[in-house]
A and B are shown apart, each in its own frame.
Chain A
Amino acid sequence: MWAAIRYRRAQALVLVLLSAMVATCAVVAPLYQRALQQGQLRQAVSQADVVDTALVVRAGRSQSNPDFRSGDLARSVPASLTGLYGRGVGQMSQPLDVVPRKGLKSSPLTLLARDRVCEHVRVTAGRCPTAPGEVMVSTKDLKAWSWPLGTTFTTAIPGSDSAGPVKLATLKVSGAYEVEPDPAYWMTEQLDGKSGTFITVGQEIVPAVDDFVTAESTFTTDWREAQATLTLPLKRALFTLDNLDRISAVLAHPGNASGGVAGALVSTQLPTVIEGLRVGQSRLGVIVPLLIAQLALLAVAILLLVAQAAVEQRRPEVALARLRGRSREGAGRLVMGELALTAALGMPVGFLLAVLVTSVVRWTVLPPGVPFEVPWQAYAAVGLAAVACAGAIWLAARPVQRLTVSSLLRRVAPERSRAIGVVDLLAVALAAFGIVGLATRTLDGPLALLTPTLIALAAGLVVARLVVPAAAAAGRGFQRRGRIGPALAAYGLERRPGPRKVVTVVSVAVALTVFAANAVAVGDRNWQARAEVRSGAPLSLETDSRNPAALLTAVRRFDADGTRATPVAVVRRVDPGSTATLAVVSRSLADVAYEPAGQRYRVAALAPPQVPTVALKGSRVTGRISWDLTAPESDVVTLPPGQSGKPRPPAEVEPPGEPSELRLSVTTPGGQRLTRVIASVPLRGRGSAVLDAPLLCPDGCRLDGLEFRKTDPVASQVSGTVTLTGLGVDGRSLDVGSPRQWNAFVPTTAGAPDRLDAKQGTAHDSLVLDLVSTGFSLALTHADVPAVVPGLLAGAVPPGGTPASFDAAGLNGAPIRVSSAQHVDALPVLGAKGVLVDYETLARLGGTLADTGSLSVWLRDPGDVAAVSKALAQSGIGVTNSRSYAQAKEQLDQSASAQGLRLAVFTGAMGILLAALVVIVMTVTGWRTVARDLAALHMSGLRLSVLRGALVREQVVLVLLGSAVGLVCGAVSSVLAMPLVPLFDDTADPVPALQLAPAVGAAAGAALLAALVLVVVGWLCARGAGRRVSLQRVRESL
């Protein structure tokens, strides 16, 4: 047997390589999957905050439980969990109010006692508190308030009045601290950072004070509302893949603690972390088999084809064995033994190759610390590969075993067209079934995974069959035209079954490569899209600003034309499911921010009005007012809003004739909207008067609008005109007489006859208000801010609204009316639910940012970060954080789905490699026969160059044909099967929507590369075989 293997050492080498690749394909899947799972686990653990994985026990003192300490909470931890967590950090705390300086209002702070706190702060003055009532204050507060050591604060103990008079506690400053950063100890606790700032308490703004640190003994039984927490950090070394199931089970059913603190709440975010890992694992469980199944099917098909070729080559040896008395089985074993031994040699090689490939992935792609592991599945996989190889060899050898001795002895192999036809039909049927199943989304399971390869296999087999008549016809055509070379190539294609198999294999390999390249490209496209949505712009700088107008001014200082940066405000409401507001300078959006692919934002609709804001600076509103109003007396009186009862006829109640009011609405620099009555006009009649009313805007205001209100409760309606001439402040005209400076009236109630229309007066600077009022307040808003702000809406219209008008949160938290100028699929940062409005428009309304909002700056070029930070700092705005597209993309690139999909690179490369091996094998197994055939033709007078050229042409045509079929099949498979590939680790609906259209460039490029490699290999093989064509071959007997 060894002699036989040595005799065909080149073929044996290729067979060893082929079986090695089969083993590599099989083994790399479990190795890669395990390594990725380990990588995901390490990433999840390393990126999670300590508190996210910690076990937290919380309890509050109460009447029934007035005197426990934080250490007592340890008894509340179920015994099953204690082994998972390390030494806990206990803390007692109580929110307090202290007066930092006599005469000031009290400031809120937290008094806390934390285990080992003195080891985690730097004592800058005095000493750590040890006795009850001693406290340590922050160094900043000590300086800011000039508290000498020994300063005392007397404060009421919260809850101490429940059983009698309120008790007071005296806190004495024993020292000052500076926090030493240690996330593992402090977790989310933040003692300092408040000193020197102001906070809003109720309606008042008070200076903030950092927390006080004290000894736990301070919390005597008088502190009946003190809160205790015990935070136990996870022993991360225990958190391994092997322990994941056990930890999950323990967390799901922790059992009860014995003797714990009543009412203690035990919680941990660890199940969320584990759930994230599980989702990632499930994604890998889909992606890895999907990709490997294609490769495995290709590898087994190739192995079968190569084994068939090898068995065919050994047919004379089988014949000899039968001739010398061997049975069918015995002769078959002769061939199978040799091939099986050769294939077996490839198994360990393939196993080592898989280990090497995975190790390279571990070193280059995965996070550090992923251990080298060979799970049992890897051994099972190599066993499976061995079984697959043995099965392929057995299948290949069976036809030869069935032949009679006389058939075996024939020089020309008997045609097995019928057997091949069955295989063809089976492949076509399965592929058709798979196509229909995938197209209708009714197919899953193994067949769905194999369908992409089955499509290519079926197409390849069919085309390989069609090659025979097509090549024969082409050969005759060439021959008639006297083109001997092409004719020989065509006849070669017609006659030789072995090389025709190349078409099938190349089809499958190229289809696999195309599918793999497309999958990676489509995945990357979607990761890019999501990263763009998440980040909004290449770089986003979070600021500590609360003033949208000030931020706009600061950004304009850096970027006057708004092409490189834009301020951005995000205002969310308390309800996380509500529609949030994103404000961006709309004209900068296209330059600075990412726009979603496939749906262009109609940002032009968001542009702020060209009407400038009118600033009101002064003390009195001045001008002249004239009116011409009527109030019908014969109509049935309609009750004003808010009154009940039947309408009464005017004969019964005469309108008292109370005057109507004209008001001026303004917004203060703080964003507050105020109204001032600037004139009263009679219910009916005609007249005029001088305007002179107090403005009450010491810091200046913005003109927001005018309001007309009928105050007479009996009159059903007032109509007519009110004319304002020379409306101004302190005698200076505001020049607001043009109707263009006012928004169109928006009725409060649909169908009501109320209206308030602005018209140009006859005199200069004269504004005519044409009105009908049934009792509603009629408002006419200044056109520097639209009455209904246009926005881009993603998701459903908020409850109570319509697309034309719905409520959204303004920058200062007050509701604004918004109309949907475009319904979009997704918005930056907000995702699938939110509304995008123009920042400049909303900034005109003034005010400070809502508590639930944040202000940031988006940059087109991350390289501008230093310049922007400097410009912001000059305006007193600090940068608190930054978030970039690159970070978001990297995060997605490290997801389980992305890393799993990278296996496609391996499968694509292996597909090409396997196909190249088949080309080589077919040459190695058939070159002697081909050389003899061509030598006979050479003897009859044909030039060697023509013969060799025909050989090369034959090979190249096969590869190109297979590549073309593979490209088409790969494209079809990509369309059908990409929905099977999970691209993200979360299970929510993807935002933005998945874009699964084939990546034409990547697919064509991959096909081109594959074809190029295979053509080169085929060309080299054909050249090699061609060089062996010589006259001596005619006489060759061995």
Chain B
Amino acid sequence: MTTTVPATTSSDTSTRRGLQVATRGLVHIYRADGHDVAALSGVDLVVNPGEVVGLLGPSGAGKSTLLTLFGGLMRPSAGRVLVGEHELSTMSEAELDAFRAAEVGLVLQGAARNLLPYLSAQQNVEFAQRSARRARRDVPSPREVLDLVGLDRAARQPLPSLPPGQLQLAALAVALASRPGLLLGDEPTSQLHHTSRDVVLDALHRVNQEWGTTIVVVTHDPDVAARLPRTVTIRDGRVGGEGRAGEEYAVVAADGSLPLPPAVVAAFPPGALVRVHQTEDGVWTLVPEGGEGRHG
């Protein structure tokens, strides 16, 4: 497999930057057995180019759905999804195919689901590059990709012989095969022990630093979340909060609503009437009906 970039290549791989991801009022509804289930109900989120973001939240909150919409695997029921200059909700299927071939890399949950079991890691990378190559897009050599994730020594080994951590690295390498501007990872460290998990996280950081790739990962693991510079918590299909540098924030939505942190929700049960006051010193307070005011 050659890694030579075709002469007609229009852009240099080294100049490629991470892609911005933005959603506006994103809604997604699953229809099954005659029932509609809203997985996302108005997500407004911006991920800046080159940023590394973790999506957190309970099971069924809509994290994976959001990731899938970022990857162009589904079309939203409403709202907009912008990845770089692409408005995914309006793209044709062929355009989405080309988008997935070059602009985005997706790591599915479970390493094996990302790999053709009868090929080696290098062959899997080559397989993933085929569409981009046919479209005469510039792609890095498989060796370069495997070096980046730290799998150069096991590049030609049969996959069944690789330990779980290396399998996950191989899955990561396959997602990075076309040097995408956006890397999406669905639980990339699940089912891995600590050492392997750290190896994978190191690889993600390396990709971000060396290629400037925007990275969005879904995780349940607090340790992983702690190592990410920004986390977004999805709750009940909406952005329920953000964490930055270890600090948790509530995020005011485009419609002005403010999802309360879980601890506050206990004090203000659904249906409770609340007055919002600004104190003289500029502090906003939430005062329940007939009660003393609380300072926010």
Residues of A whose CB lies within 8 Å of any CB of B are: 3-4, 6-7, 316-317, 320, 322-328, 330, 404-406, 409, 1037-1038
* Interface pair B100/A1037, CB less than 8 Å apart: no
Beta-carbon nearest neighbor of A5 in chain B = B118
What residues of A have a CB within 8 angstroms of the CB of B178 in the complex?
A: 324-325
If A316-B113, A320-B116 touch, whether A1038 touches B73 (CB-CB below 8 Å) is: no
If A327-B94, A1037-B111, A1038-B117 touch, whether A406 touches B100 (CB-CB below 8 Å) is: no
* Interface pair A323/B74, CB less than 8 Å apart: no
* Interface pair A324/B73, CB less than 8 Å apart: no
Stretch of B9-17, B47-55, B124-132, B255-263 with 4 or more beta carbons under 8 angstroms from chain A = B124-132
Is B19 an interface residue when CB atoms closer than 8 A count as contact? no
6 A-B residue pairs with Cβ-Cβ distance under 8 Å, sorted by A, are A4-B116, A327-B93, A405-B73, A405-B74, A406-B74, A1037-B111
If A7-B117, A330-B131 touch, whether A323 touches B167 (CB-CB below 8 Å) is: no
Is B273 an interface residue when CB atoms closer than 8 A count as contact? no
Cα-based distance from A4 to B114 in the complex (angstroms) = 16
What residues of B have a CB within 8 angstroms of the CB of A406 in the complex?
A: 68, 73-74
* Interface pair B112/A317, CB less than 8 Å apart: no
Cα-based distance from A156 to B178 in the complex (angstroms) = 117
* Interface pair B74/A325, CB less than 8 Å apart: no
B70 nearest CB across to chain A (Å): 13
Stretch of B102-110, B202-210, B235-243 with 4 or more beta carbons under 8 angstroms from chain A = B102-110
Beta-carbon nearest neighbor of B111 in chain A = A1037
* Interface pair A323/B118, CB less than 8 Å apart: no
If A3-B123, A409-B73 touch, whether A1037 touches B112 (CB-CB below 8 Å) is: yes
* Interface pair B128/A324, CB less than 8 Å apart: yes
Is B98 an interface residue when CB atoms closer than 8 A count as contact? yes
Cα-based distance from A4 to B124 in the complex (angstroms) = 12
If A409-B73, A1038-B160 touch, whether A325 touches B102 (CB-CB below 8 Å) is: yes
What residues of A have a CB within 8 angstroms of the CB of B123 in the complex?
A: 3
Is B159 an interface residue when CB atoms closer than 8 A count as contact? yes
A460 nearest CB across to chain B (Å): 29
Is B97 an interface residue when CB atoms closer than 8 A count as contact? yes
Is B177 an interface residue when CB atoms closer than 8 A count as contact? yes
* Interface pair B114/A320, CB less than 8 Å apart: yes
Closest 4 A-B residue pairs measured CB to CB?
Answer: A325-B101, A7-B118, A325-B131, A1037-B112
Among B113, B160, B174: residue with most chain A CB under 10 A = B113
Is B29 an interface residue when CB atoms closer than 8 A count as contact? no
Is B119 an interface residue when CB atoms closer than 8 A count as contact? yes
Beta-carbon nearest neighbor of A316 in chain B = B113
* Interface pair B100/A323, CB less than 8 Å apart: yes
B216 nearest CB across to chain A (Å): 16
* Interface pair A324/B117, CB less than 8 Å apart: no
Cα-based distance from A330 to B132 in the complex (angstroms) = 13
Beta-carbon nearest neighbor of A409 in chain B = B108
Query: Known contacts A4-B116, A330-B131; can you find 20 more A-B pairs with CB under 8 A?
Result: A3-B123, A7-B118, A317-B116, A320-B114, A320-B115, A322-B100, A324-B177, A324-B178, A325-B98, A325-B100, A325-B102, A325-B131, A325-B178, A327-B93, A327-B94, A404-B74, A406-B73, A1037-B110, A1038-B159, A1038-B167
Cα-based distance from A405 to B101 in the complex (angstroms) = 13
Beta-carbon nearest neighbor of B131 in chain A = A325
Cα-based distance from A6 to B114 in the complex (angstroms) = 20
B109 nearest CB across to chain A (Å): 10
B137 nearest CB across to chain A (Å): 10
What residues of A have a CB within 8 angstroms of the CB of B94 in the complex?
A: 327
What residues of A have a CB within 8 angstroms of the CB of B177 in the complex?
A: 324
B167 nearest CB across to chain A (Å): 7
B237 nearest CB across to chain A (Å): 17
* Interface pair A326/B97, CB less than 8 Å apart: yes
B3 nearest CB across to chain A (Å): 17
What residues of B have a CB within 8 angstroms of the CB of A409 in the complex?
A: 73, 108, 113
If A327-B97, A1038-B159 touch, whether A6 touches B131 (CB-CB below 8 Å) is: no
What residues of B have a CB within 8 angstroms of the CB of A4 in the complex?
A: 116, 118
Cα-based distance from A3 to B108 in the complex (angstroms) = 23
Among A322, A326, A328: residue with most chain B CB under 10 A = A326
* Among B118, B127, B159, B167, contact of A324 (Cβ-Cβ < 8 Å): B127
